[in-house]
Amino acid sequence: MPPSSVPAPGPVGRPATRGALLLAAAAGTVLVAGQSAPAVAAAHGPARPGNPTGDEPDTPQGGKAPLHGPGGTPGGLARPGTGVEVRRTTRAAIIKRAKKWVAAQVPYSMSAYWSDGYRQDCSGFVSMAWNLPGNEWTGSLDTFGVRISRDQLQPGDMLLFHNPADPEKGSHVVLFGGWADYTHTYYLAYEQTRPHTRRQSTPYAYWSNSDHYVPYRYKGLPEGASGAGASASSAKATGYPGLSAFGPGADNTYVTQLGRLLVERGAGRFYPTGPGPRWSDTDRKATQTFQQAQGWKGADADGLPGPETWRRLFS
């Protein structure tokens, strides 16, 4: 750790038959809680209050260490050829563990350990969320994952920046929680930083050193280590199921599929817990916002997905 009288350089420790208009992308609109708002260049993203650099921690991360305290040392599943222990988990479980720290507002520390045995810094946080058998650091977390592309990112994946020349200059890791807008300019980041664990909209890939962050997928997920699952929009389009599949009282897979398609197009703010099979006012509002973004009004933007709404969601 640098002397207290000398500021640590950089964010160390994270140690730094209407027109075919999809979500009015051509007109530069973004879904914003029931209305459209101007989109901005991906290089900058939506305006953010305050000074982003003020969020940067000034403490280096800890190194590799076993679990501490009552959390004990969990058993592992050995994967041939990897030399690391990988425990099976799911995306939902990863996000659930991350949310637990967010709710508890676990204080940031490079030396302290939370009650579950994980170190309270950025790499300890991801080690916890991925349910690793010990506390890793930014120089070793990549061995538990496989590198993926930006367009393959899904909740539970990580964005990792490790600076091998000087790990205390910029190195950091966050969990990807899903895209925050349809332009994929901002995403929801779960991270351990000062003063405590947080979840907030973050510019891709990060506030600083953005071009150094690399996305990884945990090897212990059900889909395996080799690839990303298909997104709703990249899957084969499903024929329109009919209006009876939606609206009050509807409870089926089409409602879930509708919600996922809308989330991919920027409606994630309507679904804080994710789309489900039971129709709700959330589905209606998200659908109506999508319809209004097409320039539709009145009965054409009633929040119920007709054949044209369905077709455009798959376009």
Q: Are 60 and 12 in contact (CB under 8 A)?
A: yes
Residue 228 has what pLDDT? Answer: 38
Domain count, the chain: 2
Q: Are 176 and 215 in contact (CB under 8 A)?
A: yes
Residue 165 has what pLDDT? Answer: 80
3-state per-residue secondary structure call for the chain: CCCCCCCCCCCCCCCCCCCCCHHHCCCCEEEECCEEEECCCCCCCCCCCCCHHHHCCCCCCCCCECCCHHHCCCCCCECCCCCCECCCCCHHHHHHHHHHHHHHCCECCCCCECCCCCECCHHHHHHHHCCCCCECCCCCHHHHEEECCHHHCCCCCEEEECCCCCCCCCCEEEEEEEECCCCCCEEEEEECCCCECEEEEEECCCCCCHHHCEEEEECCCCCCCCCCCCCCCCCCCCCCCCHHHCCCCCECHHHHHHHHHHHHHHHHHHCCCCCCCECCHHHHHHHHHHHHHCCCCHHHHCCCCCHHHHHHHHC
Q: How confident is the model at residue 223 (pLDDT cuts 50, 70, 90)?
A: low
Residue 17 has what pLDDT? Answer: 35
Share of the chain above pLDDT 70, in %: 70
Residue pLDDT, tens place only, 124-183:
999 999 999 999 999 999 999 999 989 889 999 999 999 888 777 779 999 999 988 778
- Mark whether 167 and 269 lie in a shared domain: no
Alpha-carbon gap, residue 180 to 174, rounded angstroms: 15
> Domain of 106: which CATH number?
3.90.1720.10
Residue 284 has pLDDT above 80, yes or no: yes
Whether 305 is covered by a domain: the verdict is yes
Whether 46 is covered by a domain: the verdict is yes
- Mark whether 74 and 187 lie in a shared domain: yes
Residue 1 has pLDDT above 70, yes or no: no
- Mark whether 213 and 256 lie in a shared domain: no
- Mark whether 141 and 270 lie in a shared domain: no
Whether 158 is covered by a domain: the verdict is yes
Which of residues 260 and 99 earns the better pLDDT score? Answer: 99
Mean pLDDT of the chain: 76
pTM (2 decimals)? Answer: 0.55
Whether 231 is covered by a domain: the verdict is no
Residue 268 has what pLDDT? Answer: 86
Which of residues 255 and 44 earns the better pLDDT score? Answer: 255
Residue 85 has what pLDDT? Answer: 79
Mean pLDDT of 192-216: 94
- Which residue is listed with tokens 């994630």? 268
- Mark whether 205 and 274 lie in a shared domain: no
- Mark whether 33 and 176 lie in a shared domain: yes
Whether 39 is covered by a domain: the verdict is yes
Choose the final residue of a domain: 218, 251, 284: 218
Ranges 5-9, 129-133, 151-155, 274-278, most confident: 129-133
Half-sphere exposure of 186 (CA within 13 A, CB side): 21
Alpha-carbon gap, residue 131 to 276, rounded angstroms: 26
Question: How would you classify residue 278: left for phi > 0, otherwise alpha for psi between -120 and 50, otherwise beta?
Answer: beta
- Mark whether 67 and 141 lie in a shared domain: yes
Which of residues 233 and 158 earns the better pLDDT score? Answer: 158
- Mark whether 209 and 68 lie in a shared domain: yes
Residue 155 has what pLDDT? Answer: 92
Question: How would you classify residue 84: left for phi > 0, otherwise alpha for psi between -120 and 50, otherwise beta?
Answer: beta
Residue pLDDT, tens place only, 20-31:
333 333 333 334
> Domain of 306: which CATH number?
1.10.101.10
Mean pLDDT of 102-115: 95
Greatest extent of the chain over all pairs of C-alpha atoms, in Å: 68
Whether 20 is covered by a domain: the verdict is no
- Mark whether 88 and 210 lie in a shared domain: yes
Share of the chain above pLDDT 90, in %: 46
Whether 9 is covered by a domain: the verdict is no
Residue 233 has what pLDDT? Answer: 39
Residue 83 has what pLDDT? Answer: 56
**AA letter at 47:** A
Residue 63 has what pLDDT? Answer: 80
User: Of 194, 4, 14, 200, nearest to 108 (Cα)?
Assistant: 194
- Mark whether 48 and 155 lie in a shared domain: yes
Domain that includes residue 285, residue range: 243-314
Choose the final residue of a domain: 183, 201, 218: 218
Residue pLDDT, tens place only, 71-106:
444 444 444 444 567 889 999 999 999 999 999 999
Which range (120-124, 226-230, 245-249) has the least confidence? 226-230
- Mark whether 176 and 51 lie in a shared domain: yes
